[in-house]
Structure 1
Amino acid sequence: MGSDAPRPALTVDVVVERLAALDERIDSVSRAREQPITVTAVTKGFAADVIRVAADAGFSAVGENYAQELLGKVDTLDALGERRPTVEFIGRLQSNKVRQLVDVVDLWASVDRPSLVAEIAKRAPGARILVQVNSTGEDGKGGCALGDTAALVERAREAGLDVAGLMTVGPTGEPPEAARPGFEAVRRLVDELGLEVCSMGMSGDIEVAVAAGSTNVRVGTALFGSRA
Structure 2
Amino acid sequence: MAEASPEAADLVGSSLEQRLEAFQAALPATTRLLAVSKGHPADLVRQAAALGQRSFGESRLQEAIAKQEALADLPDLDWHFIGRLQANKARAVLRRFGTIHSVDSLELAWRLQRIAAEEGLAPGILLQVKFRPDPAKTGFDPAEVRALGADLGHLQPLRCLGLMTIAPLGLTPEARLALFRDCRALADALGLHDCSMGMSGDWREAVTAGSTWVRLGSVLFGSRPIQP
Task: State the TM-score, normalizing by the size of structure 1.
Answer: 0.83
Residue equivalent to 1:134: 130
State the distance in 2 between where 1:72 and 1:155 align.
36
Q: Residue deviations 1:124-163, cap 9 Å, x none? A: 2332111111122201302211111234565442121211
Residue equivalent to 2:10: none
Tell me if 1:53 matches 2:54: no
Task: Name the SS for the 1:183 alignment partner.
Answer: helix
One-letter identity of the residue aligned with 1:209: A
More displaced 10-residue stretch of structure 1: 124-133 or 182-191: 124-133
Q: How many residues align?
A: 207
State the distance in 2 between where 1:132 and 1:149 align.
10
Contact 2:94 2:123 in 1 (8 A): no
Instruction: Please report the RMSD computed on the Cα atoms of aligned residues, expressed in angstroms.
Output: 1.9
Contact 1:190 1:197 in 2 (8 A): yes
More displaced 10-residue stretch of structure 1: 116-125 or 145-154: 145-154
Tell me if 1:167 matches 2:164: yes
Q: 1:184 to 1:121 in 2, by over 3 A?
A: same
Q: 1:136 to 1:77 in 2, by over 3 A?
A: farther
2:94 to 93, 102, 120: 102
One-letter identity of the residue aligned with 1:63: G
State the distance in 1 between where 2:143 and 2:115 align.
28
One-letter identity of the residue aligned with 1:159: L
Percent identity among equivalent residues?
39
State the distance in 1 between where 2:203 and 2:159 align.
26
Correspondences of 1:1-228 after superposition (within 5 Å)? 14-26=15-27, 36-81=30-75, 84-125=76-117, 126-152=122-148, 154-160=150-156, 161-228=158-225
Displacement of 1:173 in angstroms is: 4.0
Q: 1:146 to 1:19 in 2, by over 3 A?
A: same
Q: 1:152 to 1:127 in 2, by over 3 A?
A: farther
Displacement of 1:21 in angstroms is: 2.0
State the distance in 2 between where 1:15 and 1:150 align.
40
Task: State the TM-score, normalizing by the size of structure 2.
Answer: 0.83
Contact 1:203 1:222 in 2 (8 A): yes
Q: 1:80 to 1:24 in 2, by over 3 A?
A: closer
Contact 1:109 1:129 in 2 (8 A): yes
More displaced 10-residue stretch of structure 1: 14-23 or 180-189: 14-23
Q: 1:154 to 1:15 in 2, by over 3 A?
A: farther
Structure 2 unmatched runs, 5+? 1-13
One-letter identity of the residue aligned with 1:76: A
Q: 1:200 to 1:86 in 2, by over 3 A?
A: same
